[in-house]
Structure 1
Amino acid sequence: MFEFQVRQVRPILIIQSLWIIILALASVACKSNNTAKDTVPGVIALRMKAEFNKEKNSVVNQAYVYPPLKIDEKGVALEELYYTEDSSGNLTWHSPSPEAVALGAAVEAQLRKRGYRVVPFHEVLSVKVDHSVVIFNSYYTAALPSSETKQARVVYTRLTGVTLPVDLDPNKKRIRINQEVMVRYHSSNDDISITGKTLQYAVDHIGERGEWVDTFSLLEEKDSR
């Protein structure tokens, strides 16, 4: 069992050549998409790449969310998850980074809004139906300086979702979701808050495919509450 957990928790490392292409596309997008906009406090500009594999007659509405892991700008994990065990023998996974609690909660909250039932880890281990829980992993970089202006910062995030058969064999996993987002924002904004909203944006667009550029206003978000 422990071997399965370790293999599943280790991030699926981003293929560096593809990651470099994404970063290059993102850089071009920011230059051509009104660079002044995303250096204004409260306005976020992003580049999104979304992949989704929908299987016929297969709707999965249960989700387990591993704590987010920090990566470097090449997509390589900088840390590993660890677990604690309660008196009943149930495991809970943790990230070494303190901000992972808030980021994971942001992902779970958005999944619930999308209609998912978020389950604890012990339910993943006791499923009775193959591929009935989407297991989400999320990754993020620390805020990086922008090459365009000193007032801007850049964060890269990735959200993946896989399903497993009841025997939890990782070799039989089905990759359902892969969302990669580059976000550019004014340095006066809170880095962790922006990272959380970026991961929520990725959740919002589960089911879509393609690449696009988008902007949204944090001020409008506050006004709508």
Structure 2
Amino acid sequence: MRSVHCLSICLALLPAGMVMADPLPGLSASCTEQAVDNLLGLPPIPDASSPEHLVEKIQLGKTLFFDKRLSADGSISCASCHNPERGFIDGLPRAQGIHRQLGTRNTPTLVNAAFAETQFWDGRRDSIESQATDPLFNPIEHAVNDEVQLLHTIRQDIQYVAAFEKVYAASPETLMATQVAQAIAAYERTLVAGNSAFDRYRYGHDKTAHPSQSPSGSDAPGKNRFGGVSLTS
């Protein structure tokens, strides 16, 4: 299996409903880049975020990601479909939104989504920033009426008000939906995995990573796939 990004693991330990006033101990704005540099098989991570207040922005985005208040009836969060315990999917044939309505497709994983050139199965968005709020306004998913309703909900929470002021220097009056999207995207950019056995074999030239070198010799479940047609270049 691929190793999950260290920053994602650290943030997963935070209570989902809390915005911390101070950065996580031991983390800096360069943590993301340093960790990804150590994950074989991955290109440089695209990053649209300013390094200023990056850790706080990620923490804010994580809180938004898990907040069910960002749905019309308080029943759906981003994590409802992108469940961390399932690899940021829900395992359903078709995504289930508000009032148990079914979407048209299954939920794509957010792991390594930061590297994708397009977002959603139909490719209608070109960045995770531009896709982040689409589900909020989708009547089948979160069903938030519009940006006015979204921002009204956020303004009612004093922790959100303080966090957006610190990260974006935004007052309740100047807060914008694009800033909400940027914060969510900053968290999603930490959902990175790499350094699998295949990565180490293919990109790290580590012959011991091949399934045939496992202690049992040749019983690794993925051995046939490892060198299969679909995984060769």
TM-score normalised per structure 2: 0.25
Q: Which protein shows a greater Rg?
A: 2
Structure with bigger strand share is 1
Q: Which has the higher contact order (CA 8 A, sep 6+)?
A: 1
Larger helix fraction of residues: 2
